[in-house]
Chain A
């Protein structure tokens, strides 16, 4: 893998409540955490292709498949961010979805405004965005949910739980992440 490929692409889909500045911050933080260059680049313009008119939600799995196909060659991982509500057919909704050990993941901010209300608290919104971005990207590095409630890989059932966890990996997940990165670097 050449260094050109070592890019983490952050791809907003549609308008985001988060302004460009927030995405810049996010890119910076993710870059520090994963050790890759980050690039903010919208890859999908027409999201309504995946809208289920009955459920009024977007099916996340085909979005991921499309992202994985159209991702630029230098992208080591692609993180899509959207404000629409996502689902997979068997579940009522998902907060995000990721290809386990794959290339793409997607994160929805739709439920970020559930109780407690953020009411213009940009910083809190940003914290949730960062934690869940780290979480979904973690899945693409083959990390699974973690029992440690402070670890970024902990599965949260509510935004309250998201607020309680950190944006860092626990010691155990850090080791697994480092193994996976080494494996990727060797091109296995």
Chain B
């Protein structure tokens, strides 16, 4: 190992000087400390590859220095220098993490071989760290996290699909990360410098979606005081992400189909044709083939959207991703809320692994966020997780699933004073899905 940074810690000047000179001649950068206290000070300010540390010193012992140094810098290799009489201390030092010990006086070749061995060991360790980082990179794909075979398959597909300009249909249950996948495709495509425009098709009533998509001309309707560009126009040069495309009305489906065919459209109330260049990515949690059979979704639009398609797997099918996902959410929310929570207890993780997460990754994220906020400990405990609240997991016997769902929806809506966005977040579903359920079950705000 040539060019290592070595700190010699010995209270004898002659040892420091002679060993220092010898190591310098060997091409190493040498620093010297006459006491344990001075060594700790130097270790705080500098980074060393190797510490040659005398066990027996006036003041702070070498063993104490070893423990303190290893706490702060686990990467430094510490070689204890010991006299024949203090071999037991040297063995104790080895147990405390010293790399090796040398018996004074030692053969220069022995020291040379040891330094080379340390260099090799450190290089291997750095390589392992590098590979681990690479693995982490692979675990994190854009903003998506997952090391399971299921998600790795999705990442590979995104990589191959992104450079093409084809329309992509992403299927999957709510909360599985369809939006993140769409963004990843955009980021990895040649349109990445262009805009990524999201249209949540389920969030707008028909007439609003029309003006949202196509824009409107000043005076087109009573409130149209100015001309406004629609999202299709805004997506020029980039990607248009049609989320919840299965929610679009049949009339709008015709308009959309026309736009997808030639990328030419008119603003509401406008007479000038507008041409925009965008790639379309659509997502749905609905079984579109079923809706085609039911006559609520146009077959021709389906085929126009379904050029390339893939399904985001539900979290219950790739539970091995729960630990890295939970850890990611933990750090993110701990940082956002400025709370000192940095661990998930084994028990809490076990419970997470047992749960089926119907709201998928979004529900997991919400659960961790809540645990970070309500938790009193530095670690997330099972009782901090909403999925383990007794009222959440148990329901009185004899009730139908519909009754249980209604009761739960009402309880969450009341808890949030009927804040739909917040309730949807807690429930781990989209706002539009919640609206749909409120409408379907005819839920009403009390009072």
Contact = CB atoms under 8 A, between A and B. Distances in A.
Interface stretch (A16-24, A26-34, A40-48, A139-147): A139-147
A94 B22 contact: yes
A145 B15 contact: no
A32 to B, nearest CB: 24
A157 interface: yes
Contacts of A94: 22, 108
Contact of A145 (B17, B18, B27): B27
B26 interface: yes
A91 B106 CA distance: 5
Interface in B104-134: 104-109, 111-112
B53 to A, nearest CB: 13
A85 interface: no
B interface, by DSSP: helix, strand, loop or mixed? helix
A90 B104 CA distance: 6
B25 A88 contact: no
A68 interface: no
Contact of A92 (B14, B106, B112): B106
Interface in B1-59: 2, 12, 14-15, 17-19, 21-22, 24-27
B81 interface: yes
Contacts of A134: none
A89 interface: yes
Q: Which of B2, B18, B109 has the most CB of A within 10 A?
A: B18
B27 A93 contact: no
Interface residues of A, number: 19
A91 B111 contact: yes
A108 interface: no
A97 B2 contact: no
A155 B26 contact: yes
B107 A91 contact: yes
A174 B425 CA distance: 71
Contact of B25 (A61, A89, A145, A147): A145
Contacts of A127: none
Contacts of A147: 2
A87 interface: yes
Q: Which of A93, A98, A144 has the most CB of B within 10 A?
A: A144
B44 to A, nearest CB: 26
A94 B15 CA distance: 14
A91 B105 contact: yes
Given A90-B15, A147-B2, A157 B112 contact: yes
A87 to B, nearest CB: 7
Interface in A89-146: 89-94, 97-100, 139, 144-145
A57 B327 CA distance: 62
Contacts of A99: 21
A139 B18 CA distance: 15
A64 to B, nearest CB: 9
Given A61-B14, A144-B27, A145-B27, A91 B22 contact: yes
A74 B108 CA distance: 34
A154 to B, nearest CB: 11
Interface of A: 61, 87-94, 97-100, 139, 144-145, 147, 155, 157
24 contacts: A61-B18, A88-B19, A88-B22, A89-B14, A89-B15, A90-B15, A90-B81, A90-B104, A91-B19, A91-B106, A91-B111, A92-B106, A94-B108, A97-B21, A100-B25, A139-B25, A144-B25, A144-B26, A144-B27, A145-B2, A145-B25, A155-B26, A157-B109, A157-B112
Given A88-B18, A89-B12, A90-B15, 12 more contacts: A61-B17, A87-B105, A90-B19, A91-B18, A91-B19, A91-B106, A97-B22, A100-B25, A144-B26, A145-B2, A145-B27, A147-B2
Q: Nearest 5 A-B pairs (CB), nearest first? A: A88-B18, A144-B27, A157-B109, A145-B26, A90-B19
